[in-house]
Structure formats: structure tokens, C-alpha cells
Amino acid sequence: MNLSQLTPGERGTIVSFTDLEMSVKLMEMGCLPGEIVEVERFAPLGDPIAIRVAGYQLCLRKNEASVIIIS
């Protein structure tokens, strides 16, 4: 399952990434394998989404969220 499939309020644990380049950026911003992520809200038009990870809020497009594999 990937992060873009969650709905607001749901959580998961990051397992891995499907896109190498994006993973560099995401990891630098604190999205590490093993971290718990929670989807906080969708933007009014359903995309991007805001997630809580490592104690702060990050927003990213669904497209980008889909490279984050969670369990």
C-alpha cells in the first residue's frame, strides 16, 4: 500500500520508496523508513495532501505520496 491511498486520520509506517530521486528529497525532509506518518487533510480540491511526520507537517502531491510505500 502507498501513502496516497490513506484517507485523513489514517496512519501508516514508512517501509520504502519506489522512486529513488524523490526518496532523497523525502528522506532529507524526515520521511525515513520506520517513521509513522499520518494523513492530516486533503487540500480543498483533493490534492495535494498534508501529512504529519517526524513531528511536523509536510504537504506533497498525491503523485509524490504514491512513491512512499507504507504498512
Partner 1 sequence: MAADLKIALVGNPNTGKSTLFNLLTGLNQKIGNFPGITVDKKTGFCKIGDDKTAEVVDLPGTYSLYPKSKDESIVFQILADRENRSHPDLIVLVADATNLRRNLLLYTQVADLQIPVILALNMTDMAKKEGLAIDIDQLSKNLGVQVVAISARNNIGLKELKEAIANAPSIPTQEPGTDIQVLAPEAIAATGQLIKTTNPYFALQVLHQHSEMDIYTPEQHQQLNQIASEHNFESSKIQTAETVARYRYLGTILSGIITDTGAQKKFIMSDRIDKVLTHKVWGFAIFLLILLFVFNAIFSWSAYPMDMIEEGFARLTDLGHEHLPEGMLTDLLLDGVVAGLGGIVIFIPQIAILFALISIMEDTGYMARVTFMMDRIMRKFGLSGKSVVPMIGSLACAVPSIMSARNIENWKDRIITIMVAPLVSCSARLPVYTLLISLIIPDEKVLGFISLQALTLMGMYLISIIAAVLVAFVMKFLIKAKEKSYFIMEMPVYQRPRWNNVLLTMYEKSKTFVFEAGKVIIAISIVLWVMASFGPSDRFERIDQKYEKIELQQDSLAISTLERDRSAEKLENSYVGILGQTIEPAIRPLGFDWKIGIALITSFAAREAFVGTMATIYSVDSADEEATTIRNKLKGATDANTGLPLFTFATGFSLMLFYAFAMQCMSTVAIVYRETKSWKWPMIQLVYMTALAYFASLIAYQLLR
Residues that bind partner 1 (CB under 8 A): 20-30, 32, 40-41, 43-48, 50, 52, 54-61, 63-64
Cell of 62: 498525491
Beta-bridge partner residues of 12: 37
CB of 70 to partner 1, least distance (A): 17
Q: Is the distance from CB of 35 to CB of 45 less than 8 angstroms?
A: no
Closer Cβ to partner 1, 7 or 28, answer by number: 28
Closer Cβ to partner 1, 22 or 69, answer by number: 22
Give the span between the Cα atoms of 56 and 1, in whole angstroms: 23
